[in-house]
Amino acid sequence: MTASSAPIPGQKFSSAPPPWREHAEEALIPPLVALLVALICGDLLILSYGQSPAAVYRLLLEGTWGNAYGFGQVLYKATTLAFTGLAVSFGLRAGLFNIGGESQLAAGGFAAALTGLVLPAATPLALALPLCMLAAGLAGGVVGSVPAYLKTRFGAHEVIVTIMLNFIVLALLNWFIAGHLHVPETLHTPEIHAGVLPRLSDINPTFHGSAANLALVVAILVAVVVWFYLFRARGGYDLRAVGLQPDAAEYGGISVRRVWLRALTLSGVIAGMGGINYVLGYKHYYEDGFASGAGFLGIAVALVGRNHPFGVLLAAFFFATLSQGGLAIHAFVPKQMMDVLQGVVIIAVAMAVPEVTRILRSARRRSDA
Amino acid sequence: MREREEGSGKREAGRAEAEDLGLSSASQFPLPASRFPLPAIRMVGIDKSFGAIQANRGASLEVLPGEIHALVGENGAGKSTLMRVLGGLMKPDAGKVEVNGRDVTGWSTNDAIAAGIGIVHQHFMLVPTLTVAENLVLGCEPKTRGIVLDYDQAAQDVRQLSSETGLVIEPERLISDLSVGEAQRVEILKVLFRGARILVLDEPTAVLSPPEVRELWTVLRRLREKGDTIVLITHRLDEVVDLSDTITVMRAGQTVARIKTSETTPAEIARLMVGREVSLSAGKRVQPLGRPIPAEPGRGLTVQNLSIVGSRGIRVVDDVSFNVKPGEILGIAGVEGNGQTELIEAIAGLRPVAKGQILIDGVEITRRSVANRHDAGLSHIPEDRHRRGLIMEYTVGDNLILGLQKHFSKNGIIDGGRVMEHAIEEISTFDIRPPNPLLAARTLSGGNQQKVVVAREMGRTFSVLLASQPTRGVDVGAIEFIHQELLAARAEGKAILLVSAELNEVLALSDRIAVMYRGKLAVVMPTADATEEKLGEYMIGTKKGNAA
C-alpha cells in the first residue's frame, strides 16, 4: 500500500494541509470560538450583576472540578446527558430529529426499575445489570420505534410525533406510578432488589456523597460503540449517507426507509439506556419526573458536540459543569444565570459553527489559490 | 470629468459587444440598435461568477420594446443568471444594464419592479391559503381608512386586469384550489398588477400541458399587441419558433447569437445552442465491432411498453420499448425535459413504473430494489453527480464504494484497508486529481468528481450500463477519456444506454440513435443514417416518428 500510494510522477500535489488536519481544524476551532463568545457573554452577565467575572468563574471551577464531590456530581449529571446527547446525535446523523429523548429516557428508567424489582435479590450483578440495561434499552427502543414506524409508513414528521409521544408516555408512566407502583406518600417505586450499580465512591472514597456511578463507564462504552458503528460499520456508512444526501443514498442501493427505521429506534435505545444512571446507579428506584429536562438538554449536547460521539461526551461534561456550577455560585449570582449561559452557548454554537467553518474553508481556498 | 468617464465606459462596453459579435457570423446579428435607439433591455458584457464557476462571461442581450424575445440555451448556459442580474437579484461583476435607455447597472429588485420589470419564476411564489385577489395585492393592498383591506376593491381591480389581458381567473378562488396552469396565470397577473411592462418568463411551459401552453401563447401575443415586451426563457425550440420575434442564444455563459426568428431554422438554433466548441469528436463515428457479440436472445437491456407517470399525473414516459444488445451503445438524443431523466431513473429503480417491463439479461427487474438491480448487472452513471452520484462530504475513497458497500464489508464491518486499496487503484487508473483518497469529494473539481463516479460505475461487475450525461461539466481531456472508457466497455460486450444533451457525443459513440420527444421515442435509426439535421427535426417534433 505504501508503494502504490507513492506520488504518481507528473502529478501536481496540492500544498494543502493533509486532510486529517483540515478535519481536526473544522471539528475543534468552531466550537472553541463559540465557547469564547459564550464566555464573553457570561462576563457581561456577571458584570451586569455587579460581580467580578474572575471571582465567579473561580468559584464555579472550585465547586465543580475543584473538589471530588463536585466533580463526582458533574460526572453523574454528565452521564445522563451523554446518553441523551448520543441518542439525539445518532438520529441527526441520519437526518432525523429525535425530540423524544425525554420520554425514552423515562421509559428506560422505568423498565430498568421494573426489572430490578422483579429479579430476586440474589441475582448477581453480572446477570442483573445486563438484564436491566436490556430492559431500559428495549423500552427506549419501543418508544423510539413508534415515530420511526409512523414516519416510514405514513410520512408523519418525526419531530411532531416524538414531541407528542413525550406527553403520552410520560402521562402513562405517571399513571402507572401514581396508581399502581408507588410507595405510599411518594411518587416513586419501591427500591430495586437487583442490578444496583456501584458508585464511584465505593471504589474511590474521595467521591463520597456524590451520585457518580459506573453508569458513566457504560456511557463511555456506548459512545465508543456508536463511534464504531457510525464510522466503521456498513450500517453507519449507510446511515450517514442517508443523513447527508438521501438521493445519493437511494441511488447507492441503500433503503432510506430502513435506515430511518433503524436510526430512530436505536436512538430511542440509547436514550432509554440513560435511565440506568438514575435508577440503577443513584436512587435505586424509578421516580416520576426524574428525567425532566435531561432529554431536551440532550439536543443541545448533540449540537455542541457536533454529532460526534466523543464530542458529545465532552459537551455532556461541559453542560454538566455549567449545571453543577450554577449551584456553586449561587451565593454570588442566581443559579439561573447558568441556565442563561447554557442558552448562550447553544445560540453561540448554532450561529458560530457554520460561520467559522465557512471562514475556515474560504481561507483555505485562498491559500490554495 | 464625469462625462469622460462615462464615455470611456461606453467604448469599453462597445468593445465587449464587438467581441460577442465575433463569436458568430455577422449575418446572425442584424443589430437593430441603430434603427431603434431605445431598446427596452440592453445588457452588455455581463460577467458574473460564483466562486470558481463563471455563470456569465461577457453575456449580452438586447430586447426591443413590444417584441417577444426568446432567450435560449442549454441548462447552465447562464440564462437565469442573466435574468437575475436584470431583475436586480444579483449584481454583475462587470458589464452594463440599460432599461429603456437608462443605465441601471447593479440596481435593486425594488428599482427593477418600479421600472416595470416583472419576472415570472419557474417555481410559483404564491401563498396557497390566500385567494387570487389577496395574492395579487399582497404588499400593495388597497385599504379603507388606511387599516382594513378593501377586499372588494382588490377583487374589482383583479377582474378588470383579467379582462384586459385575457388572463381569466376568479379573484375569489383559493390558490391551493388552482391548477398549475391557473396558478401561472396568477403569477403573470401579479407582475402585471404591479405595473410591469417588461415581462420575463422563466421556463413557463415546463409544468404546462399542451392546451395550457396554447392558452399561454394567446395571452402573450395579446400582451405584445398591447405593447408589452416579453422575454421568454426556454430550451424548447418548438416554442421559440412558434412565438418569438427574435432570439438570443446563450452557451457556456456567453451570448453566441442574436437572430430574427423569421430568418432562422430550428436546426440552426439547435446547432448554436449545443455548440461546436466541445465537438472534439464531431464527425467521428464508431466503427461496428469487428467481431460481433453473438446475439443471444434476451441478453442486454430490454424495455417493453414502459410508461411513467410524473408528479402532475401526466405520462412523462409513454409506452416506450427498445432493447440494447451486448456490445452496443444505444444513444438517446433529445431536448432535455422530454422524459429522458425519468426513463433512466425508472430503469435504475429510482422512480416507480406505471406500466411495462424492464429486463436485464432476460431477468425482470421492473419492481426490484436498486441493490437488487446492481446484483442483476446494472451500473448507472447518474446525470446529477451532486445530488445522486456522490456524497459530497464523504471522502473519495468512501464514494468509490457507494453502492458496493456490501462487497467491501464483512460481518457488517467495512474493510478500511480494502477500501483504501480500491481507491488508490481507481484513482491511478482514472487519473483522479488530486490523487488522495482521503479528500472529501466536495473539494474536487467537477471533472474529477465525475471521474470518481465513472471510475466506480465502470469498475464494478456489470452487464448493462446507464450513462446519463456522462461528460456534463467535464473538461475536454476528461471527455475524451470517458468516451474511451465507454467504447472499451462496449468492446467488452457491455450493453450501454447513453443519454446525452450533446448531439455530437451521441453521434460519436452510438451504434444506434433514438430521439426522445414528449415522452416517446420519435425514431430509432442506425447512426450511419443519422445526421444532426435529421435528428434535429425529430428533436423538435417537426418530424413525427416511425418508432412505436
In angstroms, the separation between the Cα of residue B191 and the nearest Cα of chain A is 35
B531 within some domain: yes
* Domain end marker among B141, B174, B194: B194
pLDDT attached to residue B548: 40
Which one is predicted more confidently, A106 or B91? A106
Looking at the fold, whether B165 and B242 belong to one and the same domain comes out as no
Using a CB-CB cut-off of 8 Å, the residues of chain B touching A11 are 433-435
Which one is predicted more confidently, B160 or A168? A168
In angstroms, the separation between the Cα of residue B400 and the nearest Cα of chain A is 11
> How confident is residue B462, by pLDDT bands cut at 50, 70 and 90?
very high
Looking at the fold, whether B317 and B270 belong to one and the same domain comes out as no
Looking at the fold, whether B105 and B219 belong to one and the same domain comes out as yes
Nearest CB to A234: which of B391, B413, B428? B413
B124 within some domain: no
Whole-number average pLDDT of chain B: 82
Most A-contacting residue of B351, B374, B405 (CB-CB within 10 A), to test interface: B405
- Are B405 and A20 inside 8 Å of each other by CB? no
Q: Where are the domains of chain A?
A: 54-199+211-356
ipTM of the complex: 0.85
Q: Could you report the per-residue pLDDT of B180-226, keeping only the tens digit for each?
A: 778 888 888 888 888 889 999 988 876 666 677 788 888 899 989 98
pLDDT attached to residue A242: 97
Whether residue B16 has pLDDT greater than 50: no
* Domain end marker among B432, B456, B480: B456
Distance CA B201, CA B165 (A): 16
Mean of pLDDT values over B33-58: 78
B305 within some domain: yes
Distance CA A113, CA A107 (A): 10
Domain hosting residue B362, numbered range: 298-377+461-548
**For A54-199+211-356, which CATH class?**
mainly alpha
In angstroms, the separation between the Cα of residue A234 and the nearest Cα of chain B is 5
B290 within some domain: no
Using a CB-CB cut-off of 8 Å, the residues of chain B touching A247 are 387-388
Looking at the fold, whether B311 and B236 belong to one and the same domain comes out as no
B371 within some domain: yes
Looking at the fold, whether B170 and B148 belong to one and the same domain comes out as yes
Q: Could you report the per-residue pLDDT of A177-202, keeping only the tens digit for each?
A: 988 888 888 888 889 888 888 888 88
Question: Within the 417-476 window of chain B, which residues sit less than 8 Å (CB to CB) from chain A?
Answer: 417, 420-421, 424-425, 428, 433-436, 438-440
Using a CB-CB cut-off of 8 Å, the residues of chain B touching A369 are none
B386 within some domain: no
Cβ–Cβ under 8 Å, residues A63 and A70: yes
Looking at the fold, whether B342 and B214 belong to one and the same domain comes out as no
> How confident is residue B149, by pLDDT bands cut at 50, 70 and 90?
confident
Distance CA A15, CA A133 (A): 50
Looking at the fold, whether B177 and B166 belong to one and the same domain comes out as yes
Looking at the fold, whether B323 and B336 belong to one and the same domain comes out as yes
Looking at the fold, whether B322 and B269 belong to one and the same domain comes out as no
Nearest CB to B403: which of A11, A234, A253? A253
pLDDT attached to residue B306: 96
Longest dimension (CA), chain A: 82
B293 within some domain: no
By the 10 Å C-beta count (0-12 exposed, 13-18 middle, 19+ buried), B84 is classed as buried
Tally of domains in chain B: 4
Going by C-alpha positions, the residue among A92, A119, A126 that lies closest to residue A309 is A92
In angstroms, the separation between the Cα of residue B344 and the nearest Cα of chain A is 12
B74 within some domain: yes
pLDDT attached to residue B239: 77
Whether residue A15 has pLDDT greater than 90: no
Q: What b-and-e string marks burial along A281-298, b requiring 16 or more CB atoms within 10 Å of the CB?
A: bbbbbbbbebbeebbbbb
B114 in contact with A, Cβ within 8 Å: no
CB atoms closer than 10 angstroms to residue A205: 9
Looking at the fold, whether B451 and B469 belong to one and the same domain comes out as no
- Are B428 and A20 inside 8 Å of each other by CB? no
Residue A207 DSSP label: G
- Are B388 and A247 inside 8 Å of each other by CB? yes
Query: Which residue type sits at A233?
Result: A
Integer Rg of chain B from CA: 26
CATH number at residue B68: 3.40.50.300
Looking at the fold, whether B222 and B339 belong to one and the same domain comes out as no
Query: Which residue type sits at B517?
Result: Y
Q: Could you report the per-residue pLDDT of B152-168, keeping only the tens digit for each?
A: 888 888 888 888 887 88
B409 in contact with A, Cβ within 8 Å: yes
Verdict on whether the full-model pTM lies above 0.90: no
Looking at the fold, whether B474 and B533 belong to one and the same domain comes out as yes
Nearest CB to A252: which of B402, B414, B428? B402
In angstroms, the separation between the Cα of residue B386 and the nearest Cα of chain A is 8
pLDDT attached to residue B268: 81
Cβ–Cβ under 8 Å, residues B62 and B238: no
Most B-contacting residue of A26, A227, A245, A250 (CB-CB within 10 A), to test interface: A245
B406 in contact with A, Cβ within 8 Å: yes
